[in-house]
């Protein structure tokens, strides 16, 4: 029995969802065994072929409408992929970024031509996606980005640089946040869709050497007079980028909170198994009252977090998830993840500091949750504004 044992929410009580979950779990077991994931970790990225395998198995674009090559599902199907990936410890495969963050931009904001042009290839895995927001001197303050996309004939010339770009080394479809009118602040921001193959002036920087998430590539990107056709402005009209970004943030931040929740559950289950087997001073670590008290405290907090996350998901499915609630979920659950993983590592003693142990990787990987998707300091600012 898992440490956090919350009844399945009503929105997941669906036979078709259960069948899909079983199929996804079998895919990960067959196509992402430990040996293959280790190779990704050593290479610092997932090979392109795996994306195509995932596409062929129906793991990409699950909630994309069928008329654009998708599977006509909804957010619950995307949740299944995230959940099964976490259960099978499949590192590096940025399914949440591709499925739940980037594809919705095209589905919700793209023109009919853009949807037909890109979605089928994003669903098949022939295109791997990324979104380029952060810049070397600009983190969460998107209104002050310096990357520009200025008009030139029947298109735009893209100039600037981006950093901390997940999938940056492999992506061949990148949504670039740029200023089409540097004098208009938020109203001058547009989302430029760039296919990197044959894009003259586009260059990938080195893969960044991170303290965690070893199997996922994160890179710098450089744009030197890169030509972007006018029809590649997301939505077909410039100046809407900032509002398109803001509209997707609640879902993006909930996804980060969901990932943190999965990390909490995995850390607690792993640690409970460990302390009930590991012996010290003639008894198991579990037999010490301190162990029981600490894990009981974390179980209580984790249970509350799971109930909160499930409520947020229910709101999202009904179109009722607001910025403040999503910010609270992202802030609180990622903070709790850090607390849980730190205390769980402590119970492993010296072995918790050894990378061969899953808890050590959880410790390193979890730290980014409080930074990306808007730092937790930004989350607190957003929460305070609603008070």
CATH number at residue 272: 1.20.140.10
Q: Is there a domain that residue 268 lies in?
A: yes
Active site residue 112: no
Q: What is the pLDDT of residue 137?
A: 80
Selecting among 231, 252, 320, 339, the annotated active-site residue is 252
Q: Do 182 and 306 fall into the same domain?
A: no
Q: Which residues contact 62 (CB under 8 A, 6 or more apart)?
A: 70, 71, 73, 77, 78, 80, 81, 99
Q: Is there a domain that residue 75 lies in?
A: yes
Q: Is there a domain that residue 184 lies in?
A: yes
363 close to 345: Cβ distance less than 8 angstroms: yes
Name the domain boundary from 88, 110, 127.
127
Q: Do 116 and 203 fall into the same domain?
A: no
Q: Do 300 and 231 fall into the same domain?
A: no
Q: Is there a domain that residue 16 lies in?
A: yes
For the purposes of burial, counting CB atoms within 10 Å of the CB of 320, is it exposed (0-12), middle (13-18) or buried (19 or more)?
exposed
Q: Do 381 and 306 fall into the same domain?
A: yes
Q: Is there a domain that residue 2 lies in?
A: no
Q: Do 288 and 373 fall into the same domain?
A: yes
Q: What is the CATH number of the domain that holds 54?
A: 1.10.540.10
Low-confidence ranges of the chain (pLDDT < 70): 139-140
Q: Which residues contact 132 (CB under 8 A, 6 or more apart)?
A: 147, 162, 165, 168, 174, 175, 176, 177, 221
Q: Do 15 and 107 fall into the same domain?
A: yes
Q: Is there a domain that residue 211 lies in?
A: yes
Q: Do 76 and 181 fall into the same domain?
A: no
CA dihedral 142, 145, 149, 151 (to 10 degrees): 100
Q: Do 253 and 378 fall into the same domain?
A: yes
Q: Do 205 and 303 fall into the same domain?
A: no
Count how many domains the chain has.
Answer: 3
Q: Do 144 and 63 fall into the same domain?
A: no
Q: Is there a domain that residue 200 lies in?
A: yes
267 close to 341: Cβ distance less than 8 angstroms: yes
Distance separating alpha carbons of residues 96 and 78, to the nearest angstrom: 8
pLDDT digits (tens, 9 = 90+) for 26-49: 999 999 999 999 999 999 999 999
Name the domain boundary from 207, 239, 271.
239
Q: Is there a domain that residue 5 lies in?
A: no
Q: Which domain holds residue 82?
A: 10-127
Closest by CA position to 234, among listed 124, 139, 104: 104
Q: What is the pLDDT of residue 143?
A: 82
Q: Do 101 and 78 fall into the same domain?
A: yes
104 close to 92: Cβ distance less than 8 angstroms: no
Q: Which residues contact 53 (CB under 8 A, 6 or more apart)?
A: 27, 31, 125
Q: Do 149 and 219 fall into the same domain?
A: yes
Handedness of CA 344, 348, 351, 356 (dihedral sign): negative
Name the domain boundary from 127, 143, 170.
127
Q: What is the pLDDT of residue 371?
A: 95
Q: What is the CATH number of the domain that holds 226?
A: 2.40.110.10
């Amino acid at each position: 029995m898992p440490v956090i044992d919350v009844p399945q929410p009503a929105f997941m009580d669906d036979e078709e969802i259960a069948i899909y979950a079983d199929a996804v779990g079998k895919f990960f077991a067959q196509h992402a065994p430990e040996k293959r994931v280790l190779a990704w970790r050593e290479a610092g990225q997932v090979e392109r072929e795996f994306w195509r395998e995932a596409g062929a198995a129906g793991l990409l674009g699950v909630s994309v409408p069928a008329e654009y090559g998708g599977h006509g599902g909804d957010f619950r199907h995307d949740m299944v992929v995230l959940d099964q990936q976490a259960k099978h410890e499949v590192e590096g495969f940025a399914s949440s970024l591709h499925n739940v963050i980037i594809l919705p931009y095209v589905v919700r904001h793209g023109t009919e031509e853009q949807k037909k042009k890109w979605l089928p290839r994003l669903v098949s895995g022939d295109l791997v996606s990324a979104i380029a927001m952060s810049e070397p001197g600009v983190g969460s303050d998107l209104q002050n980005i310096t990357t520009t996309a200025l008009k030139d004939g029947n298109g735009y010339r893209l100039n600037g640089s981006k950093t901390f770009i997940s999938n940056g080394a492999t992506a061949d479809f990148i949504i670039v946040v740029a200023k089409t009118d540097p004098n208009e602040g938020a109203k001058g921001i547009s989302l430029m869709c760039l296919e990197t193959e044959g894009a003259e002036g586009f260059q990938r920087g080195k893969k960044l050497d991170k303290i965690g998430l070893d199997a996922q590539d994160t890179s710098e990107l450089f744009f030197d007079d890169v030509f972007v056709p006018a029809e590649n402005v997301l939505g077909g009209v410039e100046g809407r980028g900032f509002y398109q970004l803001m509209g997707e943030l609640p879902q993006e931040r909930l996804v980060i909170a969901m990932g943190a929740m999965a990390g909490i559950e995995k850390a607690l289950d792993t640690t409970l198994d460990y302390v009930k087997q590991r012996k010290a001073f003639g008894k198991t670590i579990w037999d010490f009252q301190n162990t029981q008290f600490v894990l009981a405290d974390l179980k209580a907090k984790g249970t509350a977090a799971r109930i909160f996350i499930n409520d947020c998901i229910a709101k999202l499915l009904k179109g009722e998830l607001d910025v403040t609630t999503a910010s609270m979920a992202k802030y609180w659950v990622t903070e709790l993840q850090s607390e849980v993983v730190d205390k769980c590592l402590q119970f492993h003693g010296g072995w918790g500091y050894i990378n061969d142990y899953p808890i050590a990787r959880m410790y390193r990987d979890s730290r980014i949750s409080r930074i990306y998707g808007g730092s937790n300091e930004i989350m607190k600012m957003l929460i305070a504004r609603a008070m």
